[in-house]
Structures are given as structure tokens and as C-alpha cells.
């Protein structure tokens, strides 16, 4: 008897009933959905723990958004990685813990952060043992991603207020040995080879369409579309959802994270929210759905950090030495749609990614009054802001936003310039951070925080380490996807039922 007619009524939002599965087309201990960083690591660990693993990937190859990424991973603590120690940073686990807790925002998950901080160095060793290479090198200058094959960079707001006051700063962004931006493809190629060697059965062009429920609170399988046909797959121990986030599903973004609609450049691949919806279909709770990463790459060079951002009212609103993603979150939240970055002759340099970022000079003038008039701001608004900033910067202070002394320089040398950083004009890229609520070991939780039997999630399908746009730091998403993907794989392989 064919399955198709009975499975057809199931969907991402409505699970199939196991009683409607006439026969299983596939069987495995653990089924993984999605072959990005989280799925690869989940599959690897489940297979190595002795489970028969089946991985379904909607597209024709491995990689997902992970392969588009810089492949940068946020690690440290335990005295530091080789690269950190060589660069002179003795990074304590407690500092990594405190920093990550702060970056998680009001809803940080202390248990998850604790586990990651304690095992971060081990995880880095694990990645290297898979064959991912990292050079022992450090770039002190501010950058988004190295354009060389260098490794260690400052990739968050570690040195900026209020983070630096609560956790001793250290650079923790580790980029793979890959010349140019985009080391994520290299990272995924290495992980893909390991998955193949681990004898994971991979089915490409197979889209997960619905979960199969064995009882009220038990997931026992999956409905997948392969070759235009609906097929059923039995998971003896568990299904792990690693299908990415939802930034490409504009309806979901509209409903859950409308602020991100201001960014016209969602970045990702599939990221259609299917993993999250599958989890929700059996009662999984989705949390922090309004949160996302959004940014304009306005530096390097670092000298631009010595400028100041002003909004439509001519007011400053943040310490500009924060990570570009944090600054951009504040930009998104300003009232009015105009934002400028003000520089003088000593601090101005062309943004390295100017063309990508679409940052242009709005106006230049010999006095700040002239710039203010050109920008059609009320008399005194910009001039007062600059005068206040300059007066305190000259004394090495920033009483309003606490920008660190090394970035403080009065903007007094003409010509003066205003760079146009409007959200609707420039390249503000975005992806989502909300997702299924899970235990650090990957079990998907319902609204009462009770695990749903046989269901796990990791990567951007889950709400993981990075869960607050204002705190996001580069490398935390791949760190989260790889590390917590592994935890879910190990845990699912141990399920007995």
C-alpha cells in the first residue's frame, strides 16, 4: 500500500500520525534534517556513538548558509587557544563565560553558556582533529573578516562598554586557514568529508515536509519529499532538526521580527523557517523570535571608529567602538530614517567595503555648521552634539556612551564629512536568531519547558548561544551550530525507546 495519499494531509504545521504510515520507506536510529554546520556535526557524533544515521538535505549538496559564511568560530577560555596565547592573551574561562552571558542579553541561557565556556577549547581541538586548519596568527587591527588566511581577530564588543567592564577582553574570533573572505565553504568541505567517512546515509534533494508523531508527545519519524514523492522515514531514537533559521521567509519575519524588515538584505540560503515550524507542529516552543543579527560593514579601517554616528535628530546614540552588529542594531532602532557617520580629515578613510556597504559621502564642509545646514538639521543640533563630544574627547572621556579612550579624538580638522548610512539605502544584512527552545543537549522543549520525546534541534533552527541582536559577536553562530549540533547528535544516539 502506498503512503502518499495518507501523508499528503500532513505539513510543516501538522504532523502525520504514525498510524497513517502504511510502511516506512527509510529507517534509521537518528534522522538529521539539514546538512549545514549543525547537521554535519550532529550526524557525525550520532554515527560515532554507534547510531545508524540518515541525513536529509533539501538541496543538491552540503553547506547551507554555513558554506556562505566566513567559517569564523568564537572560542577561548581555559588559558587561551594556541593563537590567543601566542598573541599574548591568557583568556580565562570565566571571562569567556561572563562575556557570552552578556551577549545573550536579558534571556541568556546560563546553562548553555556554562557548557560552552567550559568545553570551548576542547571543541576547537575537535574541529582541528576533523581536519579544519587554523593558522597561528593574529590581526590586531579592526576587521570584519580577514582577507588573508590569518586566524585570530577581535570579533565582538569585548573591548567596549559595558562588556569590557564585566569580562576581561580577549580576541576570540578564529577564522579557518582560507585565503579571502568566505572560509565557510572550506569548513563545510572538511566536515562533509568526515560525514561521508562516518558512513552517514545522506539523501540530497530531500525536503522534510512533516514530522511523524507516534503518540501525543513522541516524534517517531519524518515525511520527506524525494523525487516529487512523499516518503516516510522512521527514526528509532530521534529526529534532529538542523534546517537553519527563517530570514528568507518574509512572512515569518513580518510576523515575528518586523524590525528586520528594515534590512533589505536577508542573508542565507534556504532559511525558510521549515525546521522551526516542524518543531512547533508538535508543540515545540519558539523563543526570542524577534531577535536577529543585522549589520552594515562600516569599518575597517579602524580609524572610522573614531567618528561619531548621529541620527535624524542630530544626536549620538551609542559608543561607536562596539562591534558593527551592535552599532547596527542601535541604528535600526533610531526614530527617523536618516543616520550619518561624522568624520574629520584626521579620522576619515574610505570604508574598505564601501561598495558592498553602499556607504556614500552625504556632504562635506569646512565647518560643522555647513555640514549641519547641508543635512537640513535644526540649527545647533549637530553642532551641539559635535561640540559636546569634542570637548570631552579632548579630555579623554565620553560621559554619555563611554567610548574607550583609545578611540576618542576630537573631530576638529576640516574638511568635515558626513557619511550616509541610511538603512533603506545601505547594505544592512540580516539573519534571525530566534528558534526552538532546547536544552543544551538539544532536546526540544514545549511551552512548559518539558522535552518532546524523540525531537532535537540545533543551529539556527534552535535559539542557541547567539540570541540577542545587540550582543551578537561574529563566530558565535558557527560555534553554536557546530558545538550544540554535536551535543544533540550524542544525546539522540543515546535515546532508548
Ligand X SMILES: Cc1cc2nc3c(=O)[nH]c(=O)nc-3n(C[C@H](O)[C@H](O)[C@H](O)COP(=O)(O)OP(=O)(O)OC[C@H]3O[C@@H](n4cnc5c(N)ncnc54)[C@H](O)[C@@H]3O)c2cc1C
**What CA–CA distance (Å, rounded) separates 266 from 67?**
16
**What CA–CA distance (Å, rounded) separates 82 from 76?**
10
Residues contacting residue 125 through CB under 8 Å, at least 6 positions apart: none
Cβ proximity to ligand X, 78 vs 184, nearer residue: 184
We find the least distance from the C-beta atom of residue 481 to ligand X, in angstroms, to be 4
We find the least distance from the C-beta atom of residue 209 to ligand X, in angstroms, to be 7
Residues forming contacts to ligand X in the complex (CB under 6 A) are 33-39, 56-59, 64-66, 68-72, 184, 207-208, 242-244, 267-271, 274, 431, 459-460, 474-478, 481
Closest CA to 359 of 339, 374, 377, 379: 339
Cβ proximity to ligand X, 12 vs 308, nearer residue: 12
Cβ proximity to ligand X, 68 vs 361, nearer residue: 68
**What CA–CA distance (Å, rounded) separates 156 from 165?**
14
- How far, in Å, are 251, 397, 445, 446 from residue 449 at the CA level? 27, 46, 5, 5
We find the least distance from the C-beta atom of residue 391 to ligand X, in angstroms, to be 39
Q: In this structure, what are the phi and psi dihedrals at residue 134, rounded to the nearest 5 degrees?
A: -130, 135
**What CA–CA distance (Å, rounded) separates 140 from 154?**
7
Query: Cell 534552535 identifies what position?
Result: 462
We find the least distance from the C-beta atom of residue 414 to ligand X, in angstroms, to be 38
We find the least distance from the C-beta atom of residue 203 to ligand X, in angstroms, to be 9
Cβ proximity to ligand X, 176 vs 454, nearer residue: 176
Query: Cell 557524533 identifies what position?
Result: 45
Quick check: helix, strand or coil at residue 277?
helix
Asked if residues 333 and 259 have their Cβ atoms less than 8 Å apart, the reply is yes
We find the least distance from the C-beta atom of residue 75 to ligand X, in angstroms, to be 11
The set of cell numbers assigned to 380 is 545647533
CA 168 to chain centre: 23
Cβ proximity to ligand X, 72 vs 109, nearer residue: 72
We find the least distance from the C-beta atom of residue 267 to ligand X, in angstroms, to be 4
**What CA–CA distance (Å, rounded) separates 273 from 139?**
36
Cβ proximity to ligand X, 49 vs 226, nearer residue: 226
Cβ proximity to ligand X, 170 vs 371, nearer residue: 170
We find the least distance from the C-beta atom of residue 358 to ligand X, in angstroms, to be 16
Cβ proximity to ligand X, 250 vs 406, nearer residue: 250
Question: What is the β-pairing status of strands 173-174 and 73-74?
Answer: antiparallel
**What CA–CA distance (Å, rounded) separates 432 from 463?**
10
Amino acid at each position: 500500500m502506498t503512503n502518499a495519499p495518507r501523508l499528503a494531509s500532513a505539513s510543516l504545521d501538522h504532523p502525520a500520525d504514525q498510524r497513517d504510515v502504511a510502511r516506512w520507506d527509510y529507517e534509521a536510529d537518528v534522522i538529521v534534517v539539514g546538512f549545514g554546520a549543525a547537521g554535519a556535526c550532529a550526524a557525525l557524533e550520532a554515527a560515532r556513538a554507534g547510531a545508524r544515521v540518515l541525513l536529509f538535505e533539501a538541496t543538491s549538496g552540503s553547506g547551507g548558509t554555513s558554506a556562505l559564511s566566513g567559517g569564523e568560530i568564537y572560542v577561548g577560555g581555559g588559558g587561551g587557544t594556541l593563537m590567543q596565547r601566542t598573541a599574548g592573551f591568557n583568556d580565562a574561562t570565566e571571562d569567556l563565560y561572563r562575556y557570552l552571558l552578556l551577549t545573550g542579553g536579558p534571556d541568556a541561557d546560563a546553562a548553555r553558556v556554562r557548557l560552552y565556556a567550559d568545553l570551548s577549547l576542547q571543541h576547537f581541538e575537535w574541529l582541528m582533529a576533523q581536519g579544519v586548519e587554523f593558522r597561528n596568527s593574529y590581526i590586531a587591527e579592526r576587521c570584519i573578516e580577514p582577507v588573508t588566511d590569518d586566524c585570530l581577530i577581535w570579533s565582538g564588543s569585548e573591548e567596549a562598554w559595558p562588556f569590557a567592564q564585566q569580562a576581561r577582553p580577549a580576541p576570540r574570533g578564529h577564522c579557518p586557514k582560507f585565503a579571502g573572505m568566505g572560509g565557510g565553504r572550506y569548513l563545510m568541505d572538511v566536515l562533509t568529508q568526515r560525514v561521508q567517512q562516518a558512513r552517514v546515509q545522506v539523501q540530497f534533494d530531500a525536503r522534510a515536509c512533516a514530522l511523524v508523531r507516534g503518540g501525543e508527545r513522541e516524534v517517531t519519524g519524518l515525511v520527506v519529499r524525494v523525487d516529487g514523492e512523499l516518503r516516510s522515514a522512521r527514526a528509532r531514537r530521534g529526529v534532529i532538526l538542523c534546517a537553519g533559521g527563517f530570514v528568507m521567509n518574509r512572512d515569518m519575519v513580518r510576523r515575528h521580527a518586523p524590525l528586520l524588515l528594515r534590512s533589505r538584505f536577508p542573508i542565507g540560503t534556504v532559511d525558510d523557517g521549515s525546521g522551526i515550524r516542524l518543531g512547533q507542529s508538535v508543540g515545540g516552543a519558539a523563543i526570542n523570535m524577534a531577535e536577529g543579527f543585522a549589520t552594515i560593514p562600516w569599518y575597517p579601517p579602524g580609524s572610522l571608529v573614531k567618528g561619531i554616528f548621529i541620527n535624524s535628530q542630530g544626536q549620538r546614540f551609542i559608543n561607536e567602538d562596539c562591534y558593527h552588529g551592535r552599532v547596527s542594531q542601535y541604528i535600526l532602532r533610531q526614530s527617523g530614517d536618516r543616520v550619518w557617520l561624522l568624520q574629520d580629515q584626521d579620522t576619515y578613510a574610505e570604508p574598505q567595503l564601501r561598495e558592498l556597504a553602499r556607504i556614500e559621502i552625504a556632504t562635506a564642509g569646512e565647518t560643522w555648521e555647513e555640514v549641519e545646514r547641508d543635512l537640513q538639521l535644526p540649527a545647533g543640533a549637530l553642532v551641539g552634539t559635535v561640540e559636546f563630544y569634542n570637548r570631552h574627547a579632548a579630555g579623554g572621556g565620553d560621559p554619555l556612551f563611554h567610548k574607550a579612550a583609545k578611540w576618542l579624538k576630537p573631530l576638529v580638522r576640516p574638511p568635515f564629512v558626513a557619511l550616509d548610512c541610511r538603512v533603506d539605502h545601505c547594505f544592512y544584512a540580516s539573519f534571525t536568531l530566534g528558534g526552538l527552545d532546547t536544552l543544551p543537549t538539544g532536546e526540544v522543549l514545549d511551552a512548559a519547558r518539558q522535552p518532546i520525546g524523540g525531537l532535537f534541534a540545533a543551529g539556527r533552527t534552535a535559539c542557541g548561544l547567539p540570541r540577542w541582536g545587540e550582543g551578537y559577536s561574529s563566530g558565535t553562530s558557527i560555534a553554536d551550530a557546530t558545538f550544540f549540533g554535536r551535543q544533540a547528535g550524542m544525546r539522540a544516539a543515546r535515546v532508548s525507546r
